[in-house]
Chain A
Amino acid sequence: MNENRRQILEMLAAGKINAEEAERLIAALEDTPSGQNATGSMAAQPKNAAKYLRVLVEAEDKKGPTTVNVRVPMQLLRAGVRLASLIPAQAHDKLDEALSQHGVPLTLSQIKPENLEELIDHLEDLTVDVNAKEDNTKVRVFCE
């Protein structure tokens, strides 16, 4: 039983409202979308999950315009991320060393598959817009 419905019933029990008024209030509560929110039935529905990651690049130089439009399924990103689990443990040290030499202080062994899954899930909220006015380059990364 949700909070609003309980309050109405308590008001009825306390004699503040009569049965007819309580019925009307409950009916109004059921009709309003906010009433559905209060029950949590709407909150339980999943939001529309993004299916694709879109990368758009537009650049213009002396040779003419360059456009890149890439759409990658999120499922492919997930599958690609799972490939990381195939990297042998022996290779982790070498990779860590190579990454740190290039300014990426990362320890691969500390990255768990569930962390990567979480990262992919949060990509759905990602939108990157880059506008470089000097060379008329625009980059957009978003999920759709």
Chain B
Amino acid sequence: MTPNIAIVGIETPHWRMPRLWLPVFLLWIPVILLSPFIFLVLVVVAIGLRTNIWRLIALMWGIVCSLRGTDVHIRAEGSQVVVRIL
């Protein structure tokens, strides 16, 4: 299943951004609209890598679908970055 929400938070000693809940599922709209162009780019990449286009698409799809559950939390020198994919 593809990711639905991404939570991004950035904090520095001088500035703090409120945690953003990004509706990643809305990206499907531009992705569908741009799908012919994206497909062309993937065809060029597949030719460049001398691999099968469908195999490349399957690999990309696998990576996108497995992104759910990724959680990155880094704090250093008073700054903090949080990225969470749900």
Contacts and interface: CB of A to CB of B under 8 A. Distances in A.
Interface in A41-82: 51-52, 63-73, 75-76, 78-80, 82
Contact of B74 (A68, A71, A73, A86): A68
B62 A70 contact: no
Chain B contact surface mostly = mixed
Contacts of B72: 69-71
Contact of B67 (A66, A67, A73): A73
Given A65-B75, A82-B59, A83-B59, A73 B49 contact: no
A68 to B, nearest CB: 5
A71 B73 CA distance: 9
Chain B interface size, as a band, is: 20 to 34
B77 A63 contact: yes
A51 B55 CA distance: 25
A68 B76 CA distance: 8
Main secondary structure, interface of A, reads mixed
B75 A71 contact: no
Interface string B58-78: 010011011111111111111
Given A68-B73, A70-B73, A86-B56, 20 more contacts: A66-B75, A67-B76, A68-B74, A68-B75, A69-B71, A69-B73, A69-B74, A71-B71, A73-B70, A75-B66, A76-B66, A76-B70, A78-B62, A78-B66, A79-B63, A79-B65, A83-B63, A85-B55, A86-B51, A88-B50
Interface of A: 51-52, 63-73, 75-76, 78-80, 82-83, 85-88
